[in-house]
Structure 1
């Protein structure tokens, strides 16, 4: 039994090294950018296990055939929510307070292919059980626009 648990633990460590950070919860979404052959891709992730604070990251990217695709304007809004009874949330960067347990941070870039946001969520209150991180993104170029969303939920 001990050998099995040790083996499973080692496999878990090896698998955690690939892709998203160890213990991360993530989601992504995509939509075509009309008339360009490009896609708007959004991603949201946050830590899964935390004792005090939790890191998060959101991004909006535009690609065409897997390569970077520059647009006139690209934006990303991160919405982070602490879930639980009487939950509160502090965020770095502080962003805009939506409610006691929800904050939003937005970023817009011009003449590039990416807009991303990262920070630290500090949930408080009684019995917080999880964090939800959502990414809403949009791209605008040559008179067309497209939007996509993703939400990482525990």
Structure 2
């Protein structure tokens, strides 16, 4: 089902696929990784103009200054939600069912600095459906851990 976008009284149909769209919604958050001088940074991103499907990306990174900082374990959990009356959601990768309109996908890496996830969200329901993409991440090294969150909303 195509979703029309109204702009200045004209109906425009725009489609965003896996390629990065020209307009996006994003958010980021960060917290210190105690006793290391590094930080855990999370990012959430998705397209904000779409007619059918919308690409999304999330990541958790550990950085010391602007340099990559290797940790023992790093995790990223992407939660994608379709907002709107009777909204539904299909996701690729399929992820874990949270509700009719939300899915979660997680990824964990060891002995590196990044865990990231990307995919395609296919919201359904009313014409007023929007997407929220959240990224929750954590890192562990030498007995210390830290977590951060970010949510991108249309």
TM-score range, shorter chain: 0.7 to 0.9
SS of the equivalent of 1:126 reads coil
Q: Once the two structures are superposed, what CA deviation does each residue of 1:95-136 show, in whole Å capped at 9, x if it has no partner? A: 001000000000000000000000000001123431000000
CA RMSD of aligned residues (A): 1.0
> How many correspondences in the alignment?
135
What's the TM-score once normalised by structure 1's chain length?
0.86
Note the residue ranges of structure 2 that are not aligned, 5 or more in a row: 1-19
| Cα distance in 2, alignment partners of residues 93 and 150 from structure 1 | 20
Note the residue ranges of structure 1 that are not aligned, 5 or more in a row: 1-19
Answer whether contact 1:59 1:137 (CA < 8 A) is retained: yes
Structure showing greater radius of gyration is 1
| Cα distance in 2, alignment partners of residues 32 and 146 from structure 1 | 7
Q: More helix per residue: 1 or 2? A: 1
Paired position in structure 2 for 1:12: none
| Cα distance in 2, alignment partners of residues 29 and 52 from structure 1 | 29
| Structure 1 consecutive aligned stretches of length 4 or more whose deviation exceeds 3 Å | none
| Cα distance in 1, alignment partners of residues 51 and 43 from structure 2 | 24
Q: Once the two structures are superposed, what CA deviation does each residue of 1:66-92 show, in whole Å capped at 9, x if it has no partner? A: 100000000000000000000000000
Paired position in structure 2 for 1:134: 134
| Cα distance in 1, alignment partners of residues 126 and 34 from structure 2 | 46
What's the TM-score once normalised by structure 2's chain length?
0.86
Paired position in structure 1 for 2:147: 147
